Structure 1
Amino acid sequence: MKTEQVGEGVLETWTVDEVAEAFDRNEIVLIDVRTPQEFMFEHVDGAMLMPLAFFKAEKLPGQSDKRIVFHCGSGMRSDRVARECLSAGMERIAHMGGGFGAWKSSGRPYIGTNMATGAPQRSA
């Protein structure tokens, strides 16, 4: 994990492996900040959707039970959202470096769309 001091807070950039391991242990809430269309086409099974266009950092719950980790397609939007959280007063927040593209490249499982039927299907 890479950390960066941002004002009074700490921005963490987690690797795909760190996210997958913590997600499997139910230690984090994984929040996808891509568009609803991107999410419907393919997403990490069990991730929550909070699109960047509708994101409000002040509406997020605290992190006393589970850490929040954001992700997007490449890591750019999730970095932006994480920085917004720090600006809103959170002390520590994380995002997944490389985004969903890195998740898929690592061979991790996800829910995709069967192009023949349009139905969701497990991939990888």
Structure 2
Amino acid sequence: MESETVDGVTLETWTPQEVHDALAEGQIVLIDVRTPQEYMFEHVVGSLLMPMSFFAPRYLPSQGTKRIVLHCGSGVRSEKMARAAIAAGIDKIAHMGGGFGAWKEAKLPYMGTDMGTGAPSMVNPE
């Protein structure tokens, strides 16, 4: 995990493996900021959708015991939204470096689409 200070708040950048492990342990809320179409085509199982075009930090879930981690396709949109959350007063926020592309490069499982049927299909690239 890398971190930097933005307006006095620590912005964390997590690796896909760190996100995978923390999600499996129930330690984080993973929020996908991609479009609904991108999410429906393929997404991390257990992630919530809050598209960048509708992103409003005031609607983020409470962080009582879980860290919020944002992700997108490449890490650009999620970092931008993490910075917007900090500007809105959120003091615990992280994003996944490299986004969903890095998740797939790390050969982590995700929900995809069976191109033959159009149905959701679990992808376990290991």
TM-score bin (small chain):
over 0.9
Give the Cα–Cα distance (whole angstroms) in 2 for the partners of residues 91 and 112 of structure 1. Answer: 33
User: Which residue does the alignment assign to 1:20?
Assistant: 20
1:99-114 mapped onto 2 (5 Å cutoff): 99-114=99-114
User: Which residue does the alignment assign to 2:117?
Assistant: 117
1:42 aligns with 2:77: no
- Partner of 2:107: helix, strand, or coil? coil
| Structure 1 gap segments, 5+ residues each | none
TM-score, length-scaled by structure 1: 0.97
User: In the comparison of the two structures, how many residue pairs are matched?
Assistant: 124
TM-score, length-scaled by structure 2: 0.96
Q: CA deviation at 1:58?
A: 1.5
1:64 aligns with 2:64: yes
Give the Cα–Cα distance (whole angstroms) in 2 for the partners of residues 92 and 3 of structure 1. Answer: 12
Give the Cα–Cα distance (whole angstroms) in 2 for the partners of residues 85 and 10 of structure 1. Answer: 12
Which runs of structure 1 show a deviation greater than 3 angstroms over 4 or more consecutive aligned residues? none
Give deviations 1:35-80, integer Å, cap 9, x for gaps.
Answer: 0000000000111000000000122122112110000000000000
Contact residue 112 and residue 121 of structure 2 kept, 8 A: yes
Q: Root-mean-square deviation (CA), in Å? A: 0.7
User: Which residue does the alignment assign to 2:95?
Assistant: 95
Give the Cα–Cα distance (whole angstroms) in 1 for the partners of residues 32 and 60 of structure 2. Answer: 13
User: Which residue does the alignment assign to 1:81?
Assistant: 81
| Structure 2 gap segments, 5+ residues each | none
Give deviations 1:72-99, integer Å, cap 9, x for gaps.
Answer: 0000000001000100011121000000
